[in-house]
Amino acid sequence: MLSRSLSLFSYRLCHTSIRPIAIHTRKMSDLSIELTAPNGKTYSQPTGLFINNEWVASSKGNKITSISPTDESEIASVHAAEPEDVDKAVEAARAAFKGPWRDMSPTERGDLMFKLSQLVSDNAELLATIETWDNGKPYQVALNEDLAEVAGCLKYYAGYADKVHGQVIDTGAAKLAYTIREPVGVCGQIIPWNYPLGMAAWKLGPALACGNTIVLKAAEQTPLSILVFANLIKEAGFPPGVVNILNGQGRVAGAAIAQHLGIDKIAFTGSTATGKEIMKSAAINMKNITLETGGKSPLMVFDDADLDQAVKWSHIGIMSNMGQICTATSRILVQEGVYDKFVEAFKEHVGKTSKIGDPFSEETFQGPQVTKAQYDRVLSYIEAGKSEGATLAMGGEAYKNVGDGKGFFVSPTIFTHVKANMRVFREEVFGPFVVIVSFKDEEEALEKANDTTYGLGSAVFTKDVVKAHRIARKVEAGMVWINSSQDSDFRIPFGGVKQSGIGRELGEAGLEAYSNKKAVHVNLGTWL
């Protein structure tokens, strides 16, 4: 997912201390607070619900507290939406859809999106700071990769705003037939915690380009950056109600969005289990749905591959973003002839490159897992791998050599001699955790690669281009990387098969999910 951490190949081990910068807070109003981040940047953090271009309190006053995964300290508390608040957001979105937004010229809509893209670029350092503080990802990645992609994705779809159109279909002289591409309506969008602003841009971009209005719910684990982004939406000049942004618990606000009769479409990125529940809820009024869910993606290394490149890309494929990527190539399948050599080279590269530490340090490659729950989940799979008889080749423990020993850090973990029936081979871990399995030939590689309920990403390393294309045809996945991993692009469709989701995001294909084709038949000569 996304083009991750390519700039971090050169990072080397230097130090593991967190800079002793005091965190200051000062109350600005009931719906904002002044914060000073660990890198010294001071800003005003909204804490309310963004409905109809205004900040409002939640109906019951319940709040969510953001915890820094680096040192486990509280950052801020924000209002948590209730079903009544979702009702208000949907009402605002519906009014905007029926009002000036839908009748606005597509070129004007595109101009607003261009302005928003520019505002993201102008505020990239602040937004990256919040993402790093709230999420734990390295600041250099948040700034140079994530925020660059947010601005780029919005700019890309801004260019499409006045290019979403129908066509004339020639059926003969007696009929004029044409299609109109119309917006779906009010869209509910539920984004994950691993790329908070990145996933928001993936969904907002095509939805806005097609003329829809939006009720977006952020992940309760990472509620902060999207609220600062909301201010940029208003500053860009979007009419009230076009984009409404809520924080809230998934089981409360998320469920209310999925079940809401006033919402026409749901787009969700997250776990497969939650995706299934959203499908059930969305069936209440047969909502249009797009789901991007879990993965257990294979990466196949053949004995004719450039082994050095295979090692480096395999590292990026699983260890970037702390392994918290839905497309993470977490099952490395290596041909028997180079298996031992690959394992040793991979362990050496991980040891040199996966520098764990303060995410605001330029030397850091790997920050903490996003929450204590995710940290515990990764550690539990380490114990599962041991108990099932897999060989722990590297890592396998909590990492405490950062700051005062707090934080949700896990050492990069490698298991070898893994069998296909083991949980660590079959289940998504979502951490810096990889299994390396051998195969004899192409047939067995494909058999093991496809032996999964998921089908999101996949990768193959070989110098034989014919074999590479052949495998790309046969592997059961929505995406295939040949001699790379994770270098996705917002101009290229993204999505999975099997239990990895429904539909596609990004590229021109991403527009399909946010527009309907209406057919118009004009009788020019068939008279009764």
Bin 313: left if φ > 0, else alpha if -120 < ψ < 50, else beta: alpha
* 117-122: average pLDDT: 98
pLDDT at 88: 98
- CATH architecture of the domain 28-46+57-294+506-513 equals 3-Layer(aba) Sandwich (3.40)
Report in angstroms the alpha-carbon separations of 346 from 272, 343, 368, 383, 438: 30, 5, 21, 22, 14
Q: What does the DSSP assignment read for 38-82?
A: TTS-EEEEE-SEEETTEEE--SS--EEEEE-TTT--EEEEEE---
To the nearest 10°, report the CA torsion of 37, 41, 46, 52: -140
Average pLDDT, the chain: 95
DSSP classification of residue 133: H
Residue-level length of the chain = 528
If one counts every other C-beta atom within 10 angstroms of the C-beta of residue 522, the result is: 9
Same fold, 28-46+57-294+506-513 and 298-489: no
292 is catalytic: yes
Q: Where are the domains of the chain?
A: 28-46+57-294+506-513, 298-489
Instruction: With a cut of 50, say whether residue 17 has pLDDT above it.
Output: no
Instruction: With a cut of 60, say whether residue 119 has pLDDT above it.
Output: yes
Report in angstroms the alpha-carbon separations of 172 from 124, 168, 176, 178, 328: 54, 12, 8, 12, 51
- pLDDT tier at 29, thresholds 50, 70, 90: low
Dihedral sign, Cα of residue 253, residue 256, residue 260, residue 264:
positive
Instruction: With a cut of 90, say whether residue 133 has pLDDT above it.
Output: yes
pLDDT at 463: 98
Instruction: With a cut of 50, say whether residue 9 has pLDDT above it.
Output: no
| Catalytic pick among 131, 145, 292, 428 | 292
* 125-139: average pLDDT: 98
Cβ neighbourhood burial of 440 (10 Å; 0-12, 13-18, 19+): exposed
Where is 101: in which H helix or E strand? helix 100-103
Estimate the crossing angle of helix 225-236 against helix 106-122, to 10 degrees: 130
- CATH architecture of the domain 298-489 equals 3-Layer(aba) Sandwich (3.40)
Q: Per 3-state DSSP, what percentage of the chain is helix, strand, and coil (rounded to 5)?
A: 40, 20, 40
Q: What is the pLDDT of residues 369-384, one digit of tens each?
A: 999 999 999 999 999 9
Q: What is the pLDDT of residues 228-237, one digit of tens each?
A: 999 999 999 9
> At residue 230, what are phi and psi to the nearest 5 degrees?
-60, -40
pLDDT at 498: 98
> At residue 186, what are phi and psi to the nearest 5 degrees?
-90, 125
- pLDDT tier at 18, thresholds 50, 70, 90: very low
Cβ neighbourhood burial of 172 (10 Å; 0-12, 13-18, 19+): exposed
Instruction: With a cut of 60, say whether residue 5 has pLDDT above it.
Output: no
- The DSSP bridge pattern shows strands 54-56 and 63-67 to be unpaired
pLDDT at 16: 35
What are the tokens at 245?
A: 């942004």
Report in angstroms the alpha-carbon separations of 299 from 306, 316, 328, 409, 412: 14, 12, 9, 25, 18
Instruction: With a cut of 60, say whether residue 331 has pLDDT above it.
Output: yes
Pairwise CA distance, residues 338 & 420, whole Å: 20
Instruction: With a cut of 60, say whether residue 54 has pLDDT above it.
Output: yes
> At residue 228, what are phi and psi to the nearest 5 degrees?
-65, -40
Instruction: With a cut of 80, say whether residue 470 has pLDDT above it.
Output: yes
Q: What is the pLDDT of residues 269-314, one digit of tens each?
A: 999 999 999 999 999 999 999 999 999 999 999 999 999 999 999 9
* 85-92: average pLDDT: 98
Pairwise CA distance, residues 216 & 195, whole Å: 14
If one counts every other C-beta atom within 10 angstroms of the C-beta of residue 200, the result is: 26
Bin 360: left if φ > 0, else alpha if -120 < ψ < 50, else beta: alpha
Pairwise CA distance, residues 169 & 179, whole Å: 8
Tell me if 359 sits within 8 A of 17, measured CB to CB.
no
Name which of 197, 235, 226 is nearest 81 in CA terms: 226
- pLDDT tier at 268, thresholds 50, 70, 90: very high
